Each structure stands twice: as structure tokens, then as C-alpha cells.
A and B are shown apart, each in its own frame.
Chain A
Amino acid sequence: MSTHRHFLSNCEAAPAARPQSTSSYFSFANKWSTVVLLISGLVAIGAFIWWLNIPFIEDIFTSSAITLTMVLGFQLYMGNSGILNWSYIGYAGIGAFASAIFSMEPAVKTMQIPTMYPFLIKLHLPFSLALIAGALTAMAVAALVAWPLMRLSDSVGAITQFALLIVFNVVLSQWSQVTNGPRTFTLGGLRYTTLWVALGVASVVLAAVFYFKESPVGLKLRATRDDRHAARSSGINLVSTRYIGYITSAFIGGLAGGLFSHYILSITAASFYLHDLFVILSMLVIGGSMSVSGAFFGTLLVTLARQGLRQVELGLTRSGFEASGATEIVLAILMIVFLIWRPNGITGGEELTWNSIRRRLKSFTGRKKQSAKSQQQED
């Protein structure tokens, strides 16, 4: 039996602290305080950065809000089912290309991608609808291919998803009539994904992913993660439960991909491959894959760490010491360290709630008082 201690619920290990809060601990309000806390945190940071009005920082925030959306969708399936879903980033790619094709003006499309199928050139939707249509396309692809893969678990499950990612990558990078093949796909329009759009979508997705986790399907999926046999004999259909989680996750991945393409404005299939999967995987592992809070804090911490490390990297390279790529190495090592010593990440798989904050504060002030007392005694 493991006795994890983690920063969100530090005094869980002390049984004496528990009973008095039992009734409120399980209240609906406390459970949903996670969503309120995380979204207010996100909005507060966003508003502050918008007020600062420094384009460079605004860009960092917008792209990390997109990444957060992506990590949340990744958490939805991987966190609840326990299966490493390599193909996830492929669905982000499908959503990115599909939503771009939907949103671009036909005239721009003929100019940018002359090889495109005529029926795709004619398609045109406003950005918001194009974004959803792109996500639905990713979901539809998932719905078509996933069913036979859903009964596979553990490493077999992960390997088949990896093979699927290879398929997606080759198709995206070779299908000239749709994605402009290996050449860059330039959207040639406005940057629709502004700070507020990215923030808004991330907030809605955060609430949705949390709702999923607590919904009957989410509970069933978590049950299959913990014990497949017990889940089966409790009346849970493994394949259909996973299937629902998988295609929902693909939808959110497609949504994040669409936000990304309308932010970065020129994409290739290589933007949705192993490197980006590695980044979101490290975020989820470091934050803690089993909770929505884990996805949130993982994204926050890894983004900050990456920005900081990149500055160090640049500084070193400028002063004559070749250090390019060091950021990735540090991140990879960090991921390994976490998997060894803290497999449930900084959140320990728990959610941030009112009570977890209260308990943490209490134990913090308690310790202060104690040390003050012992000092008095020494005096």
C-alpha cells in the first residue's frame, strides 16, 4: 500500500484531520469548486496578461491556453482509461487541417493550395462553425477506426495507438489534395484564435472534461482503468465505455488543433507528431494524469519551465556554449524523475478543491504556530 503525500492534500495522511469535515467534504459544491477555482485562475491570469498588453507575453498565454485545451482532451481518455493514447495528437492534426479548410475563403484556397479537391474549395463556414466542424471531423475519424482497438489494454493498446498515429501522420503529410502534402499549409486569413477565444474554449473544455470524469461514463471508464475484471462483473461494457471516452477525447483534440491552426496560421503534418505529443505527455505526467487539476497545473508548470529554460538555453548559446535542445532533455529527465518518484504527478491524482486548500492552509498555519510556540519556549 502506498502512502502518497502531495501538495494539494498534504494532511490526507493524518487521519485525525478527517472526520470533522466529512459532511461538507462530499458536498456537491466542494466537488465542483475545482472547476470554479481552475477557471477563475485561468481567467485571472488571462485578464492580467491582456491588461499588461505585451504582445510577446500575450502570445505565450494564448498558445498555452491552446495547449491546455489539448492536454485536457488527452487527460480525458488517458487519465480515465489508463491507456497511453499516442494517436491523440493525430486527431489534433485532423482538426487543425479540417477546420482550416472549412474556414478559409474559396479564393484563398485556390491560391494557397491549387491541388485541392474542388468540392473542398467550395466549402466555407464562419470561424466558430469551422472550429466545431473540424472537431467533429476528428471525432468522426475516431468513431470509424476506434471500435476494434478498444478491447486492447496495456502495452498492446498503446502500441496499436502508436501504429495509428503513424497512419495519420503519413496521410496528413502526403494527401496533397487536402493538406497540401509535405508543403506548408498556409491559412492566409485573419488570426481568429485570439487570447479571449483560446481562453474561452479552454474554460468550457475544462468544465466539460471535469463533468465527464464525474459522469456515469467517466466513472465507468475509471473503473475499467482500476480493474477490468471487476468492472466487467459490475455490469460495465469495456469496449463501449472506452469508445465513448476515446471519441470524446478526439473531439477535444480536434478542437485544440483547430484553435492552433487559426493561431499559428501555417501548419504542416509535422506540427502534430511525436515532439508535440511528448510535450503534452510531459505536462500530463508531471501534473498528474488522473485529475483535471493535474492537466491544468502540468500545463502551467511545464509552460513556465519551458519558457525559462529556453531563455537559459539562448543565453548559453549566445555566450558561446552550444546548448540547443537542452530544454527538451531537461523536460524528458523531469518526466522520468516524476514517473519514478511521483507517478501521480504533483497533484497526486487529486483535484484542487476548497477543502484541499483549507486543509493545506490550516496545516501551514498550524506549523507556524507550533514553531512560534517552540521559539517562545526557547526564550
Chain B
Amino acid sequence: MNKKSFFNVEGLNKSFAGLKAVNDVSMHIETGEILGLIGPNGSGKTTAINIMTGMIKRDSGKITIDEHNIGDMPAYLVPVYGLVRTYQTIRLFKSMTCLENAMMGAIGVGIGRRAASEIAGELLEEVGLGESIGLPAERLTFRDQRLLEIARALAASPKFLLLDEPAAGLNEEETDMLLSLLKTLPGSRNIGILIVDHDMRLIMNLCNRLQVLNYGRTIAEGLPKDVQKNPEVVNAYLGSTAS
């Protein structure tokens, strides 16, 4: 049986010029489950991810993985403790090959060059980029760039993976492919996933639990089918579309 790990966020706060972007948000994920973080545009989802991975400083709050306090670590140490992310706007090492891109995930957490290249090769096969390992990342199609970014994240053998709108820009068929790939990860690699996305079909089919943000505050959490019916959530979404 795989050892369980816990990712805990307690009372996270962040203001930009007096505006509360993240307001007392708490979150708990354990390995093996998928948590969906949803909410209207500007509700603080991406800011929350940026804070959790140390990319921007928080005002207050506690972020831990098991007993490690990753909130006080520089961003480049966060992956070493098992937390990696992907970006809404894909960020790859454009001029480097796919293999090198995926290797960087492993090398970044201190794995040696040869082992990193083996891990990367296997992962690229797994996500379906086996044919393109020698191509520079910038020559890939949009879909393949998304997959490469996920492969790079997985190469760090994370305990927790934060996906920032992985389906943005993908068509329905590509999203289905992504869905079936992501669905297997918690079981096969014993990782916990936090996913932010606007594609409700993806979110409803993928997530074990949902947490809804609005104006930086948690307004609902629970099972997808319950959250869907929550009047406050319906209001937040309709409100934002109406305005």
C-alpha cells in the first residue's frame, strides 16, 4: 500500500493594493485524489496556485506537505518537497528538445542526468509524445505542448500536481484525451491533483471533490454533484455571466 501524503493550506491571505485576491482560503488534498478548484474569472484561483508554489509571497497562512512547511521556501525548493505545477499559458523551454524539457523536471529535483533521461523517455511515451522526443518544444502542436508540460511536471515524481487550466485552448476530443490521461494518474503514480479549469465537463468527470472560490473566498466545497446544486455557486456563476 502506498504511503499517503497530505497537502494542507490553512488561512491563506493575499492582497494586491488593498484588494483581497485570496481571502482566508484553506484547502486539503491527499495523494490519490483529485480536487477541482473552480470559480468565475478573477476569483483568485491562479493567485492561489502562484502562492502555493512560492511564485508570489503570501501575506499570511500556512502551507505544508506532511510535516514540511513549504510556504517559507523559495520557489525552486518547492518541487523537491513534492509539489509541481503547470501554467495556464504554456511555459516550455522552447529551443530545447522534448526529451530535454521533460528531463528538466527530474534534474530540477536533483535526479542525475542518465536517470533523468530514462524517466523522461518513459513519460513521453506514456503521454504519447514518443515520436517527437528529438524535436524542439516550439515545433509541437498546442496540444502536444500541453502534454509535454504535464510530462515535465511528472518527471519530478511529485506527490502533488497543480494544473492551471490544462484544457484551455483544447477542443473536445483533445480534452477527452487529457481527461483519460489525468484520471489514471492518482492511482498509477500515487499523486494528488489540484485542477483549475473552466471546462465543467472535464471538472465534473474528473474530480472527486470540488472547491469553489468567488472574490478570493471559498463559497462551497464538497462532492461535484452537491456543489453543482449549491445556490451560492449557481448565483456566482450566473452573476458573473450576466455582468
Task: Give 3 closest A-B pairs by Cβ, nearest first.
Answer: A235-B108, A230-B91, A226-B93
Q: Contacts A233-B85, A235-B79 known; list 17 others, CB within 8 Å.
A: A1-B139, A2-B138, A22-B134, A216-B112, A219-B103, A219-B107, A223-B93, A226-B92, A226-B94, A227-B93, A230-B92, A230-B93, A231-B104, A232-B55, A233-B76, A235-B76, A238-B76
A14 to chain B, nearest CB (A): 13
A302 to chain B, nearest CB (A): 23
* Of listed B95, B108, B138, B139, residue having the most chain A CB within 10 A: B108
Q: Would you call A26 and B76 a contact (CB within 8 A)?
A: no
Q: Which of B84-100 contact A (CB under 8 A)?
A: 84-85, 87, 91-96, 99-100
Check: B25 CB closer than 8 A to any chain A CB: no
Complex interface: chain B residues within 8 A of A219 (CB): 96, 100, 103-104, 107, 113
Complex interface: chain A residues within 8 A of B93 (CB): 222-223, 226-227, 230-231
Q: Would you call A232 and B96 a contact (CB within 8 A)?
A: no
List the count of A-B residue pairs having beta carbons below 8 Å apart.
91
Q: Would you call A229 and B76 a contact (CB within 8 A)?
A: no
Q: List 13 A-B contacts (CB under 8 A).
A: A1-B138, A26-B133, A219-B104, A220-B107, A227-B92, A230-B87, A232-B75, A235-B76, A235-B79, A236-B108, A237-B74, A237-B76, A290-B95
Count of chain A residues with Cβ under 8 Å from any Cβ of B?
A: 29
B89 to chain A, nearest CB (A): 10
Check: B29 CB closer than 8 A to any chain A CB: no
Q: Would you call B131 and A223 a contact (CB within 8 A)?
A: no
Check: B78 CB closer than 8 A to any chain A CB: yes
Q: Which residue of A lies closest to B53 (CB)?
A: A233
* In the bound complex, CA of A226 to CA of B53 (Å): 20
Complex interface: chain B residues within 8 A of A222 (CB): 93, 95-96, 100
Q: Would you call A234 and B104 a contact (CB within 8 A)?
A: yes
* In the bound complex, CA of A229 to CA of B54 (Å): 11
Q: Would you call A229 and B138 a contact (CB within 8 A)?
A: no
Q: Would you call B152 and A226 a contact (CB within 8 A)?
A: no
Q: Would you call B95 and A235 a contact (CB within 8 A)?
A: no
Q: Which residue of A lies closest to B93 (CB)?
A: A226
Check: B147 CB closer than 8 A to any chain A CB: no
Q: Which of A200-234 contact B (CB under 8 A)?
A: 214-216, 219-220, 222-223, 225-227, 229-234
B79 to chain A, nearest CB (A): 4
Check: A162 CB closer than 8 A to any chain B CB: no
Complex interface: chain A residues within 8 A of B133 (CB): 22, 26
Q: Would you call A227 and B94 a contact (CB within 8 A)?
A: yes
Check: B156 CB closer than 8 A to any chain A CB: yes
* In the bound complex, CA of A26 to CA of B93 (Å): 19
Check: A148 CB closer than 8 A to any chain B CB: no
Check: B204 CB closer than 8 A to any chain A CB: no
Check: B36 CB closer than 8 A to any chain A CB: no
Fill in one digit per residue for B131-159: 1 if any A CB lies within 8 Å of its CB, else 0.
10110001100000000000010001000
* In the bound complex, CA of A2 to CA of B116 (Å): 29
Count of chain B residues with Cβ under 8 Å from any Cβ of A?
A: 37
Check: A349 CB closer than 8 A to any chain B CB: yes
Q: Which of A215-263 contact B (CB under 8 A)?
A: 215-216, 219-220, 222-223, 225-227, 229-238
* In the bound complex, CA of A54 to CA of B108 (Å): 52
* Of listed A230, A233, A238, residue having the most chain B CB within 10 A: A233
Q: Which residue of A lies closest to B109 (CB)?
A: A235
Check: A25 CB closer than 8 A to any chain B CB: yes
* Of listed A2, A227, A229, residue having the most chain B CB within 10 A: A227
Check: B77 CB closer than 8 A to any chain A CB: yes
Q: Would you call B103 and A233 a contact (CB within 8 A)?
A: no
Q: Which residue of A lies closest to B101 (CB)?
A: A223
* In the bound complex, CA of A220 to CA of B101 (Å): 10
Check: A19 CB closer than 8 A to any chain B CB: yes
Check: B39 CB closer than 8 A to any chain A CB: no
Check: B80 CB closer than 8 A to any chain A CB: yes
Q: Which residue of A lies closest to B112 (CB)?
A: A216
Check: B105 CB closer than 8 A to any chain A CB: yes
Q: Would you call A19 and B113 a contact (CB within 8 A)?
A: no
* Of listed B78, B105, B107, B110, residue having the most chain A CB within 10 A: B107
Q: Would you call B107 and A216 a contact (CB within 8 A)?
A: yes
Complex interface: chain B residues within 8 A of A232 (CB): 55, 75-76
* In the bound complex, CA of A232 to CA of B84 (Å): 10
Q: Which residue of B lies closest to A25 (CB)?
A: B134
B134 to chain A, nearest CB (A): 5
A347 to chain B, nearest CB (A): 13
A10 to chain B, nearest CB (A): 16
Q: Which of A2, A25, A226, A229 contacts B55 (CB 8 A)?
A: A229
A237 to chain B, nearest CB (A): 5
Q: Which of A216, A229, A235, A238 contacts B91 (CB 8 A)?
A: A229
Q: Which of A22, A223, A238 contacts B96 (CB 8 A)?
A: A223
Complex interface: chain B residues within 8 A of A238 (CB): 76
* In the bound complex, CA of A18 to CA of B55 (Å): 39
Q: Which residue of A lies closest to B138 (CB)?
A: A1
Q: Would you call A223 and B104 a contact (CB within 8 A)?
A: yes
* In the bound complex, CA of A300 to CA of B86 (Å): 43
Complex interface: chain B residues within 8 A of A22 (CB): 131, 133-134
Q: Which of B79, B92, B100 contacts A233 (CB 8 A)?
A: B79
B27 to chain A, nearest CB (A): 18
Complex interface: chain B residues within 8 A of A235 (CB): 76-80, 105, 107-110, 156
* In the bound complex, CA of A216 to CA of B116 (Å): 10
Q: Would you call B131 and A215 a contact (CB within 8 A)?
A: no
* In the bound complex, CA of A314 to CA of B134 (Å): 48
* In the bound complex, CA of A236 to CA of B152 (Å): 13
* In the bound complex, CA of A152 to CA of B225 (Å): 49
A333 to chain B, nearest CB (A): 26
Q: Which residue of B lies closest to A26 (CB)?
A: B134
